[in-house]
Structure 1
Amino acid sequence: MTELLQALDSIAAQSEDTTLADTRILGFDTETTGTRAGSDAICSATLVLRDPAKGHDGDVVGEWLMNPHRPVSPGASRVNGFTDEFLQANGGEPVELLEAIASVIAEAQNRRVPLLAYNAPFDVHMLEGDLARWDLKPLHERLNDGLLVIDPLVIDRKVSHRKGKRTLTDTTFYYGVEPHGDFHDATADTIAAVDLVAPIARLHPDAAALRLDELMDWQRAAHAEWKESFNRWLEARGRRPIREDWFGKDQD
């Protein structure tokens, strides 16, 4: 954590007209005991601070392994490989680690360094659920302005118009991103998601030119458009539509 905070302290706040292609990024990913924010919990997390001018060589990485004080569901354990016994023996206590994660994110946000996560609402809501569970200050109360997020999943759905799955694995393969480690490891997934920005920006100039001050509204609109289309597909097959929005304005 100290290295990340020192790195953030050394940079000035980014301008609102900084573009997606040029922005510094704080990548974020979690591995969890399950999928229900507030009931399940984070068991590992990674933050990666990326300067696009330096690429991988300039990355500053923070990694946390914690005892979630919740059982890992069988499904989650099959994906991330964590067991209750391993986390109890090797994981740190959540209060200290969650406070560290939230502090770094807030420090970045207050310098207009956006938080990047693939399917970002999941990781942010898991963090908010854990902060509430341990009576820690909510993320939104730590920020000078609204939450600033980059979600490569939302951006790719809008700009690529491709068929097939949109998992992180499939999306990185589509954009030619080589993984650094195994998927479903928080650090490997964080770096892979951060690595998507450069090829997306290179292939889609309109996305590359998005400014930080318009990024959230653009992604909300992109998600709403995708949701409407996807719900038509679901309803035509007699399936229940999805209702979740992508970070409503009251969540900024």
Structure 2
Amino acid sequence: MSWHTGRLCGFDLETTGIDVEHDRIVTACVVQCGGSHPTASGTWLADPGIDIPEEAAKVHGITTEQARAKGRPAAEVVEQVVAALAAVVVSGVPVVAMNAVYDFTILDREARRHGVQPLVDIVGGDLRVVDPRVLDKSVDKFRRGGRKLEDLCRTYEVRLDGAHSADADAIAACRVAWRIASKKPKVGGASLDELHAWQIEWAREQAESLADYFRRTPGKEHQADGVRTEWPLIPAQRTCGAS
């Protein structure tokens, strides 16, 4: 059985911003779908412990006031999300995450910030990730247009029920991954071990290409040094403080 015809686990976070080292989780979703079994979804709303910038609230719809009133303590949410993902990994189900390096790195730093055992320390090398963004950029390298989740949903004719809510994005990412695997025999026919290893290399090549573009583009040269090539997680260089 091909990996995409079995159970998939979608993972998505909505956060206070895009800085993986310092921003915080606001909402999270871990949803299992496919494989001829009912969809099982876990969703969380956290009080991130800091103000949610207006720009971020406009994206995901959660204000500081809402998070403080209805959100659960951040440490509790992080611990439960890590536990949910660890259980998925142990069961052999691949985790589908759009732009995976962002979500997994944010979760890793939040775990370290709150004294929770990070996912990578629990599951080690057993984690198998499917990243629709990395897959799409590999199988359709020269297609014009954006590569955000909404763009991929249009390209692969996938329904997106509510963009920028963690549960909708997680399900949509699984649908896009399934579409790509169905259309591209190399992707759909690969083992999870093969596909994970290929994505590490593809993500590195894609990041290096982006950095090269920045170096060659007037006014963007300074952005090249900030491009990271690791996937699906940027390793922690130090223990994150409570900044």
For residue 205 of structure 1, report the CA deviation from its aligned partner.
0.9
Per the alignment, residue 243 of structure 1 pairs with: 227
Per the alignment, residue 121 of structure 1 pairs with: 101
Q: What do residues 94-140 of structure 1 show as CA deviations (whole Å, max 9, x unaligned)?
A: 22222111111011111221211100011111111111111111111
Per the alignment, residue 30 of structure 1 pairs with: 13
Question: Is 1:110–1:145's contact at 8 Å kept on the other side of the alignment?
Answer: no
Is 1:179 the equivalent of 2:163? no
Question: Is 1:41–1:126's contact at 8 Å kept on the other side of the alignment?
Answer: yes
Per the alignment, residue 36 of structure 2 pairs with: 53
Q: How far, CA to CA, are the matches of 1:211 and 1:217 in structure 2?
A: 10
Question: Is 2:129–2:232's contact at 8 Å kept on the other side of the alignment?
Answer: no
Residue 218 of structure 1, aligned match among 172, 190, 198: 198
Q: How far, CA to CA, are the matches of 1:148 and 1:169 in structure 2?
A: 24
Per the alignment, residue 165 of structure 1 pairs with: 146
Question: Is 2:210–2:227's contact at 8 Å kept on the other side of the alignment?
Answer: no
Aligned residue pair count: 230
1:186 to 1:227, Cα distance in 2 relative to 1, 3 A = same
Q: How far, CA to CA, are the matches of 1:131 and 1:249 in structure 2?
A: 13
For residue 150 of structure 1, report the CA deviation from its aligned partner.
0.9
Per the alignment, residue 93 of structure 1 pairs with: 73
1:66 to 1:250, Cα distance in 2 relative to 1, 3 A = closer
Per the alignment, residue 238 of structure 2 pairs with: none
Secondary structure in 2 aligned to 1:184?
A: coil
Residue 190 of structure 1, aligned match among 170, 185, 188: 170
Per the alignment, residue 239 of structure 2 pairs with: none
Q: What do residues 187-232 of structure 1 show as CA deviations (whole Å, max 9, x unaligned)?
A: 1111111111221112111111121111221001112222333333
Matching residue's letter, 1:48: V
Matching residue's letter, 2:120: H
For residue 163 of structure 1, report the CA deviation from its aligned partner.
1.2
Q: How far, CA to CA, are the matches of 1:139 and 1:66 in structure 2?
A: 18
The CA RMSD measured in Å over matched residues stands at 1.9
Q: What do residues 38-92 of structure 1 show as CA deviations (whole Å, max 9, x unaligned)?
A: 42110110111023335xxx21111101111111122211211211111100101
TM-score with structure 2 setting the length: 0.87
Q: What do residues 19-48 of structure 1 show as CA deviations (whole Å, max 9, x unaligned)?
A: 433342211101111122342110110111
1:249 to 1:173, Cα distance in 2 relative to 1, 3 A = closer
Secondary structure in 1 aligned to 2:47?
A: coil
Per the alignment, residue 46 of structure 2 pairs with: 66
For residue 159 of structure 1, report the CA deviation from its aligned partner.
0.4
TM-score with structure 1 setting the length: 0.85
Q: How far, CA to CA, are the matches of 2:95 and 2:89 in structure 1?
A: 7
1:193 to 1:226, Cα distance in 2 relative to 1, 3 A = same
What stretches of structure 1 of length at least 5 have no aligned partner? 1-17
Secondary structure in 1 aligned to 2:11?
A: strand
Question: Is 1:38–1:133's contact at 8 Å kept on the other side of the alignment?
Answer: no
Matching residue's letter, 1:191: I
1:144 to 1:121, Cα distance in 2 relative to 1, 3 A = closer
Question: Is 1:118–1:151's contact at 8 Å kept on the other side of the alignment?
Answer: yes
